[in-house]
Structure 1
Amino acid sequence: MTDDYLDKVYALKTDADRRALYDDWAAQYDDDLASQGYVTPARCAATLAASPLPKDAAILDMGCGTGLLGRALAAQGFTQIDGADVSAGMMEKARKSGVYGRLLDLSETRAPKGHYKAVAAAGVIGTGAAPPSVFDQCLDLLPKGGLFCFSFNDHTLEEPAYTDRLNAAVADGKARILSEEIGDHIKGLGSRAMVYLLERQ
């Protein structure tokens, strides 16, 4: 089941197609990925927990899906977590998790700039998911000193459209890299991901 959906994800071309697939996948998403050892949300949450970010800081879980990262952040002690996504089906599952203060439907509204001290995006920005422009959108939400924790999986690390955005942000002085660590992404598939922590400049 997971392999079928993941194969479809990497072949998606439009936002409407992505929204439809994730709506359809929502009911079994958590079980599918748990059975395959999806660890990137836990890795991102641990990265933020190891940073100086206060546990009561306002965090936006960008592309929150069913709430895997939100639950991982809550398990690390963070208490002010909002979620944002474009899939109504996924967000309905996230709502039931009880860890989000509010959920933003990005097909209808935009996240407020300057409100969040950190933005996290686990398994979100990359091929088959959010386009490279979402990287810049996440950074632009943050005030100076705000933290951006995100992952690029194997496929995405091979796509200059994504890595060039990161390199440009650093070169232009928009952000600096505090940490980057390669590790497991979906263990059952043998995939890996780089988890980055950036500070907005």
Structure 2
Amino acid sequence: MTMTDDYLDKVYRLRTDAERRALYDDWAGQYDGDLTAQGYVTPARCAAVVAGSALPKDAPILDMGCGTGLSGRALAAEGFTRIDGADVSTGMMAEARKSGVYARLIDLSGATAPANHYAAVVAAGVIGTGAAPPDVFDQCLDLLSPGGLFCFSFNDHARAVPAYTDRLDAAVTTGKARILAQEMGDHIIGLGSRAMVYLLERQ
């Protein structure tokens, strides 16, 4: 078993916020190397979807669950210039700070992201089992004003848990958001996992 497999195996057994913070803090220093070696493509997939929308390159974007900055760097590579990051892991955000792509980083263990400030929220590989709980889906939507974009992914694990998929269904059914695009594709190639990437518009 590789180190990546070991951490990923632990991730899907986490039950509390404290357990999640501790594991991601511990993993922070080797997270990028581990995931890149396994072919983690969801951040790049999400960034490409956002870049394919009409969102201006200088629009303010929040990278929710930014981790070490993989998603922020993918957004920057697509030409976006105003990116904030938010996470609960101080270890991960210490690594994200080194990337130089974030205007600011928000520690969600003690603060909240500003509502109605962002034109888009991106949560790449964030909302799902072992990571962010289902209510983060609604938190992301609530940060946006009408017309704002929400790009996120549900991997195989999240798609198998109704607590996650029901949030999306409820948002669409109640008219809170509409789906602009959805695409199934690779998530972590080396593990054979896949994810659906969605682009929503806040109504």
TM-score by length of 1: 1.00
- Identity, % of aligned pairs? 80
* 2:198 aligned residue: 196
Q: CA deviation at 1:103?
A: 0.1
Q: 1:87 aligns with which of 71, 86, 89?
A: 89
Q: 2:53 aligns with which of 51, 54, 70?
A: 51
Post-superposition CA distance 1:63-114 (Å, at most 9, x none):
0000000000000000000000000000000000000000000001000000
Structure 1 CA distance for aligned equivalents of residues 66 and 45 of structure 2: 15
* 2:126 aligned residue: 124
* 2:28 aligned residue: 26
Structure 2 CA distance for aligned equivalents of residues 2 and 179 of structure 1: 31
The amino acid of 1:78's aligned partner reads F
Post-superposition CA distance 1:151-183 (Å, at most 9, x none):
000011111000000000000000000000000
The amino acid of 1:139's aligned partner reads L
The amino acid of 1:158's aligned partner reads A
The amino acid of 1:161's aligned partner reads A
* 2:138 aligned residue: 136
TM-score by length of 2: 0.99
Does residue 8 (structure 1) correspond to residue 30 (structure 2)? The answer is no
Structure 2 CA distance for aligned equivalents of residues 179 and 147 of structure 1: 11
Q: CA deviation at 1:18?
A: 0.2
Does residue 168 (structure 1) correspond to residue 138 (structure 2)? The answer is no
Q: 1:152 aligns with which of 151, 154, 161?
A: 154
Contiguous gaps of at least 5 residues in structure 2: none
Tell me the secondary structure at the aligned position of residue 188 of structure 1. Answer: helix
The amino acid of 2:101's aligned partner reads V
Q: CA deviation at 1:40?
A: 0.1
Which consecutive segments of 4 or more residues in structure 1 shift more than 3 A?
none
Contiguous gaps of at least 5 residues in structure 1: none
Structure 2 CA distance for aligned equivalents of residues 165 and 129 of structure 1: 16
Structure 1 CA distance for aligned equivalents of residues 36 and 126 of structure 2: 17
The amino acid of 1:25's aligned partner reads W
Tell me the secondary structure at the aligned position of residue 140 of structure 2. Answer: helix
- For the aligned residue pairs, the C-alpha RMSD in angstroms reads 0.3
Structure 2 CA distance for aligned equivalents of residues 87 and 43 of structure 1: 23
Q: CA deviation at 1:16?
A: 0.3
